[in-house]
């Protein structure tokens, strides 16, 4: 019984790690699609919303079943509740990657991101990847210090968003309205993605500390 319960908890952690990996992959692909006008890749990102959302629901059902059948207390209870919230964060991150992909599909054959702004979007995608990679590593290592670094690392995303919005307003030639709207939203999607990574980091740090 106890053995089976530990196996349940391990499986739950494994699924959370898998959802983290899928979410990272989706945003990396979305970044490539939006900075290279790759319609096929953007369509793939849009389709990949479903496996991420499905795994999120599997994780939620799994958490509820552990709560109902095992009635965990103390560290295990906190782990499951934090897992429920992390699953929700990761699902939202998947949705944000999906939104970036949707913009590429909607604007095709026009390009969503003008050449001059591509390096900034690429850099935002790079920071997103670094943040969620650290989320995955801190999750496995249960490393509170590493998890808390994510909040600092997020400053790089805020700076890039600031750069992007400044580039939009201060360019020598004003972009058309659609481009301004798309870039405003794309910037916001990366910023929110990073915010969720920070939230994941805080939950991992909390768990690492209370179960140490």
Q: Could you say which residues in the range 13-32 bind its own copies, by CB under 8 A?
A: none
Under the binding rule (CB under 8 A), the answer on residue 116 touching its own copies is: no
Considering the complex, state which of residue 146 and residue 197 has its C-beta at the smaller distance from its own copies. 197
- CB of 127 within 8 A of CB of 157? yes
Per CB under 8 A, the list member of 81, 105, 151, 156 interacting with its own copies is 81
Under the binding rule (CB under 8 A), the answer on residue 88 touching its own copies is: yes
Count, residues in the chain: 212
Spatial distance between the Cα atoms of 25 and 47, rounded to a whole number of angstroms: 13
Nearest to 100 by CA among 185, 161, 196: 185
- CB of 156 within 8 A of CB of 194? no
Under the binding rule (CB under 8 A), the answer on residue 169 touching its own copies is: yes
Q: How far is the CB of 130 from its own copies (least distance, A)?
A: 25
Instruction: Identify the burial level of 166 via C-beta atoms within 10 angstroms of its C-beta, where 0-12 means exposed, 13-18 middle and 19 or more buried.
Output: exposed
Under the binding rule (CB under 8 A), the answer on residue 165 touching its own copies is: yes
Considering the complex, state which of residue 48 and residue 89 has its C-beta at the smaller distance from its own copies. 89
Considering the complex, state which of residue 13 and residue 88 has its C-beta at the smaller distance from its own copies. 88
The region of 24-32, 41-49, 60-68, 120-128 touching its own copies under the rule CB under 8 A is 60-68
Under the binding rule (CB under 8 A), the answer on residue 67 touching its own copies is: yes
Spatial distance between the Cα atoms of 169 and 154, rounded to a whole number of angstroms: 23
Spatial distance between the Cα atoms of 92 and 76, rounded to a whole number of angstroms: 24
Under the binding rule (CB under 8 A), the answer on residue 181 touching its own copies is: yes
Q: 3-class SS at 82? A: helix
Per CB under 8 A, the list member of 178, 209, 210, 211 interacting with its own copies is 178
Under the binding rule (CB under 8 A), the answer on residue 9 touching its own copies is: no
Under the binding rule (CB under 8 A), the answer on residue 73 touching its own copies is: yes
Under the binding rule (CB under 8 A), the answer on residue 188 touching its own copies is: yes
Instruction: Identify the burial level of 173 via C-beta atoms within 10 angstroms of its C-beta, where 0-12 means exposed, 13-18 middle and 19 or more buried.
Output: exposed
């Amino acid at each position: 019984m106890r053995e089976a319960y530990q196996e349940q908890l391990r499986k739950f952690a494994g699924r959370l790690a898998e959802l983290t990996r899928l979410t990272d992959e989706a945003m990396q692909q979305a970044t490539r699609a939006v900075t290279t006008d790759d319609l096929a890749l953007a369509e793939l990102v849009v389709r990949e919303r479903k496996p991420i959302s499905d795994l999120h629901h599997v994780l939620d059902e799994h958490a509820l079943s552990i709560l109902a059948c095992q009635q965990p207390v103390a560290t295990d209870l906190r782990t499951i509740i934090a897992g429920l919230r992390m699953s929700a964060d990761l699902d939202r991150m998947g949705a944000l990657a999906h939104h970036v992909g949707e913009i590429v599909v909607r604007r095709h054959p026009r390009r969503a991101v003008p050449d001059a702004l591509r390096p900034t979007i690429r850099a935002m995608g790079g920071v997103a990847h670094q943040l969620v990679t650290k989320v995955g590593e801190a999750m496995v290592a249960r490393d509170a210090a590493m998890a808390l670094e994510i909040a600092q690392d997020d400053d790089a995303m805020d700076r890039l968003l600031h750069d992007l919005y400044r580039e939009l307003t201060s360019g020598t030639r004003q972009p058309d309205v659609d481009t301004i709207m798309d870039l405003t939203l794309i910037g916001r999607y990366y910023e929110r993605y990073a915010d969720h990574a920070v939230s994941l980091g805080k939950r991992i740090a909390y768990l690492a500390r209370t179960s140490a």
